[in-house]
Structure 1
Amino acid sequence: MTYQTNLNLKATDFALLFFRIALALMMLVHGIPKLLTLFGDAEIQFADPMGLGMTASLALAVFAEVICSILLLLGLGTRLAAIPLIITMLVAILIVHVPDGWGRQELPTLYAVCYVVLLLTGPGKYSLDHIFLKNKKSKIA
């Protein structure tokens, strides 16, 4: 049975739950220090790759890495929450870490690929998205 290719939806939904939670927790490790910096007393020193200002750039990164990661964790608005995370990782890959080479681009590339997977698959059955959609469908019927 190990080598069968039939799709097991229950296992897939559990894998998506595990994937979402692990990915969100890993990104929160990057986002929470940025959140503390944003609301801390120290002067903000952050990359400003788009010319928005360091504070605005940091706020956008915090929104993606903290708020959107929490939404992924809950499976709430998963596909929409993945979009700012993808954009943030693309900025890191294509602008911020270009001079640093592949060694510094590898991690944001891996995150971006994972977020694209969630954008394409959605959160799976074990999510608030599924619960709310199920309730909405039952009210319509």
Structure 2
Amino acid sequence: MNDIIKHLLYSDLGTPVANWAMFAFRILLAVELFRVHGMKKFRGNDGKPEVVPNPLGLPQAINNLVATLSDTVVPLMVILGLCTRVAVLPTIGVTAVGYFVVHRHDSIEVRDVPYVYTICFLLLLATGPGSISFDQLIFNHFFNI
């Protein structure tokens, strides 16, 4: 169990430059996701909340919850670097479904947005948030490093 927690929390990227670069990357990525997609969940273009596509036929409440969390709560967790590797999973799912299902017949100009988000969040899943994060603070506290 300790090994799993270590793998989820530890993410020192090796150099201060790499850790600061990941810090900037994850903040810029998360702010953009929230600003462009998260805010639509509260007020769409006409002042009403966005209608979330449901291409997988999930119960509408679950579909809306996952989409809303992935565009509002996940960006906050990514900014903080808090439980980052687990937190990005819903966003990867939503953006991958957007790319492979919702926009599969659209032009590449439309498909590139969910594609880029998916790739960026996969990078965060693989590397973690870097050492400038709450994940690293928690890791250092519990594993005395």
TM-score grouping bracket, smaller chain normalisation: 0.7 to 0.9
Normalised to the residue count of structure 1, the TM-score between the two structures is: 0.82
In structure 1, C-alpha distance between the alignment counterparts of 2:41 and 2:50, rounded to whole Å: 10
Deviation, structure 1 residue 69: 1.1
**Over alpha carbons, which structure has the higher Rg?**
1
Determine the structure 2 residue equivalent to 1:122. Answer: 128
In structure 2, C-alpha distance between the alignment counterparts of 1:88 and 1:96, rounded to whole Å: 10
Which structure has the higher relative contact order (CA within 8 Å, separation 6+)?
2
- 1:31 equivalent to 2:38? Answer yes
Normalised to the residue count of structure 2, the TM-score between the two structures is: 0.80
Determine the structure 2 residue equivalent to 1:4. Answer: none
Aligned residues: 130
SS, match of residue 130 in structure 2: coil
SS, match of residue 18 in structure 1: helix
Q: Which residues of structure 2 form unaligned runs of 5+?
A: 1-12
Deviation, structure 1 residue 67: 0.9
Q: For 1:1-141, list aligned pairs within 5 A.
A: 9-29=15-35, 30-36=37-43, 45-138=51-144
Deviation, structure 1 residue 50: 1.1
Q: How much is the aligned-residue C-alpha RMSD, in angstroms?
A: 2.2
Deviation, structure 1 residue 42: 5.4
Farther off after superposition, 93-102 or 127-136: 93-102
CA contact (8 A) 1:79 1:118 kept: yes
